[in-house]
Structure 1
Amino acid sequence: MWDKSLKTLTSATPNVRGPPALVFTFSELEEKLKAGYKATTQGKFADALRLLLGILHTIPVIVVDSRREVDEVKELIIIVKEYVLGLKMEIKRKELKGDPVRQQEPTAYFTHCNLQMPHLRLALLNAMSVCYKAGNLNTAANFARRLLETNPTIENHAKTARQILQAAEKNMTDATQLNYDFRNPFVVCGATYVPIYRGQKDVSCPYCSSRFVQDQEGKLCTVFYLSVVGSDASGLLCSPTQIR
């Protein structure tokens, strides 16, 4: 019975190519992004990471109709990539309780990810506090200034930043040397979580555009685990308008 029905179906539609059956829509990914933002605000980093990685894993099977929507999909990849990298560094930082230097570095790098303003303020507040407690007053003062420049909406955060800045200005020194120079522009390697400063050679993921130190070339992208770093690829194709 099944074989007969299948034969009838295939013979009735020979050589017909229809669009794929879509399980996910772009609007669903936008809702998942909002949920990821909410989890980040609440400090539920593992939940936020799960939600945001789900977006990166779903986008390759999304199909959109227009060039404008293609641009929106690509923009979403960049937004999510920044959060995934930052959240992974923050989760890693919490695992480094016995290494005060390496605890400070990921939280410093997190403040250079492209985040929504409320999340950037939280990242700056955290980095400022972590570095201040570790005796890196000069570095903590930098985060305090950056936080105040955002005009914090929570007065207690602004008050804490002013207090740390005032205390640090009496002794602008760092107790430990970090692999972090806030005066020199950099991106963070998505595998080793070390800064790649301007002028240094790097390689990138063809899908999410995450950057990596050169010895990561040919390895699986550790930001979302679907593409090979440094590979020659066409990039994301998610619309018929891209191949017409």
Structure 2
Amino acid sequence: MIENRDNCPSFEILNQICQRLEIKLTDVSHNPRYGDKLFSYIEEDMRRHLYIQAQQRIGKVNFDKLDNRFAEGKYYCYKGFVKLYIDDDLDEAIYHFNWMLTQYKCDSLRFYHAWSNLGLGLAYQKFEKPKRALRYIEQSIQILDQIKHDNHDICAVTDLYIGIIATFLELNHFDRARQLCTAILNRLTADDCLYKVDVLEELESRCLYAQGKIVEATMKQFTAMFVAELRGNQTLCNKIKDKSQAHIIQLVKQELNKIDGRQTLSI
């Protein structure tokens, strides 16, 4: 029907097709608003932590040409992270995040409200104000809990959870980090999705090591390694195989070499 009529009757169907083909929705939509395609690239850069590249793209955006509040809200969210990570200007970062949260309250921006709250948490963490940082991070989680069962992009939600979990690890809140790992892993499993399962398993292993649960942590590491290899995440796979668990892997190889070549008993 889409091929014959050159249209799609359902946004959700179109979104699923784009995810399956690994193309951006804005690349196939007609008459996109000003900045839509550029914003999709900026968001991808942000999620991959390519903030310098994102900054260069944001510099090409003429804010006065943005013709809807949805785009304006996203712009302030993006700008906040550039101020936080590239310019290292915490006051400006906080200003942009706060402006986004107070001036752009529409439901369509809830994901960016969660993202901006995380940004505020990270900024106050850099200011060495952990209590205030945690307050904003928990607000981010509350919003994500509301939208994670909607039709929102599960990959984007997962990326945001990973940022939150990593922050809890830095703040030594290991129980909370593990709770979130379990929650998002359950969601991904329910959706038969492997997106960054390896990263989440590795993050949970760090929590377990910090809590002295060595055996359980090691099992998580190997789970992360196998899933990373399956997903083609060779960086994480090699990190575990060649560094974190190199000693155990070497011991296993030695034991296998002892067994190799022995005759098995016939029954």
| TM-score above 0.5, yes or no | no
Give the TM-score category using the shorter length: 0.3 to 0.5
More strand by share: 1
TM-score by length of 1: 0.40
TM-score by length of 2: 0.37
